[in-house]
Amino acid sequence: MAASTKLSSFRLPPLPTIGEIIKLYNLRAEKQLSQNFLLDLRLTDKIVRQAGCLRDAHVFEVGPGPGGLTRSILNAGATDVLVVEKDTRFISGLKLLSEAAPGRVRIVHGDILTYRMDRGFPDTISKPWDGDPPNLHIIGNLPFNVSTPLIIKWLENIANRTGPFAFGRTQLTLTFQKEVAERLTASTGSKQRSRLSIMAQYLCTVHNCFTIPGRAFVPKPKVDVGVVHFTPLVQPQIQHPFKLVEKVIRNVFQFRRKYCYKGVEKLFPEASRFELTQKMLQNADVDPTLRPTELTIPQFRALADAYAHLCTHEPSLLHYEFREELRLKPLTKQGNKPEDTFIMD
């Protein structure tokens, strides 16, 4: 009883609906900024529930727009919500929300891709990496056009314990285009298994929570949307520098429908390609005729170990980029690069 009374004290006073805010401030969605709004607060509440308990939490919200998700975060009991929004037109509506929840909303007009989140919260909320996650959550109905670069950037931050992860194992609850959500959580052998699956799963426990049909958004996007929850692992499943791991995974998935050795080969310059590919696959004990989608994370770990070992003997390998070499090669008669049949994830 006492607990519910306490939580009810977080609830916002009556406010114009999100639909009314959109009309009031004439907030026509901008396609360029991937703006698709959620007006149904039951749905935004459901997204916020995936983050877990937000009582007294610090929350970083990406792209609050008209503020539907922000309201749900506040109603769930967060006491400090830092929002970063790129589009100036939303700032007045967000100020209205901030006045309704005094001292609980901080508004930054800026770009999420460059904002320094490590400066946004006090050091006192930090938790040791091997302890429980800090009471800090990243939540966002992400703009489609930045969701993949943003999650790659945050995965690199997780590997290096920088940015939002300087506070500990900060959890993330984010939306993605449904197909991207499926790739992030795809298991070995599944059709959706891709570079993103390995990158996310070697560093985090990743959970595809539920799918929101496109029709729930205004305006309706052409695709459905998946809500994904990430908790950084105490021990990453692959323990090499992020850039090295990313390079191995990217190359292996370069030809996702072919045997994995085809991608492994591209880690090495032409002169030593055959010999080093054989060595790397043998040392990793990986069957060269497996497809990239069939490889497990321990197999990627073995491949990264074997590649790192080869690089300690020949450090120049680390700087070798097949695509760079390809870029510099002359075009064939048909106007194609010699090997431009990659299928990227």
For ligand SAM, the binding residues (CB under 6 A) are: 33-38, 63-66, 68-69, 84-87, 90, 111-113, 141, 143, 146
User: What are the phi and psi torsion angles at 14 (to 5°)?
Assistant: -55, 135
Give the torsion sign (CA, 299, 302, 307, 308): positive
Considering the complex, what minimum distance in angstroms separates the CB of residue 93 from ligand SAM?
10
Q: Token pair of 200, please?
A: 């996310």
Q: 9: exposed, middle or buried (C-beta count within 10 Å: 0-12, 13-18, 19+)?
A: exposed
Residues 6 or more apart in contact with residue 148 via CB below 8 angstroms: 180, 196
Please state whether beta strands 58-62 and 80-85 pair in parallel, antiparallel, or not at all (unpaired): parallel
- Judged by CB, which is closer to ligand SAM: 224, or 321? 224
Q: Token pair of 85, please?
A: 């929004």
**At 163, which amino acid appears?**
G
- Judged by CB, which is closer to ligand SAM: 139, or 317? 139
Considering the complex, what minimum distance in angstroms separates the CB of residue 268 from ligand SAM?
37
The CA-to-CA distance between both ends of the chain, in Å, stands at 50
Whole-number Å distance between alpha carbons of 215 and 179: 16
Considering the complex, what minimum distance in angstroms separates the CB of residue 175 from ligand SAM?
8
- Positions of E strands within the chain: 37-38, 58-62, 80-85, 105-109, 136-140, 171-177, 204-212, 217-218, 225-232
- Judged by CB, which is closer to ligand SAM: 101, or 311? 101
- Judged by CB, which is closer to ligand SAM: 85, or 265? 85
- Judged by CB, which is closer to ligand SAM: 60, or 202? 60
Considering the complex, what minimum distance in angstroms separates the CB of residue 68 from ligand SAM?
5
**At 106, which amino acid appears?**
R
Coil, strand, or helix at residue 11? coil
- Judged by CB, which is closer to ligand SAM: 211, or 272? 211
- Judged by CB, which is closer to ligand SAM: 38, or 203? 38
Q: Token pair of 55, please?
A: 């009582």
Helix axes 68-75, 91-100, angle to 10 degrees: 20
Whole-number Å distance between alpha carbons of 129 and 48: 24
Considering the complex, what minimum distance in angstroms separates the CB of residue 9 from ligand SAM?
25
Considering the complex, what minimum distance in angstroms separates the CB of residue 67 from ligand SAM?
7
Residues 6 or more apart in contact with residue 56 via CB below 8 angstroms: 77, 78, 79, 135
Considering the complex, what minimum distance in angstroms separates the CB of residue 42 from ligand SAM?
13
Nearest to ligand SAM by Cβ — which residue? Answer: 63
Q: Token pair of 160, please?
A: 């290096």
Considering the complex, what minimum distance in angstroms separates the CB of residue 289 from ligand SAM?
42
Give the torsion sign (CA, 27, 30, 35, 37): positive
Considering the complex, what minimum distance in angstroms separates the CB of residue 108 from ligand SAM?
9
Q: 227: exposed, middle or buried (C-beta count within 10 Å: 0-12, 13-18, 19+)?
A: buried
- Judged by CB, which is closer to ligand SAM: 73, or 159? 73
- Judged by CB, which is closer to ligand SAM: 37, or 242? 37
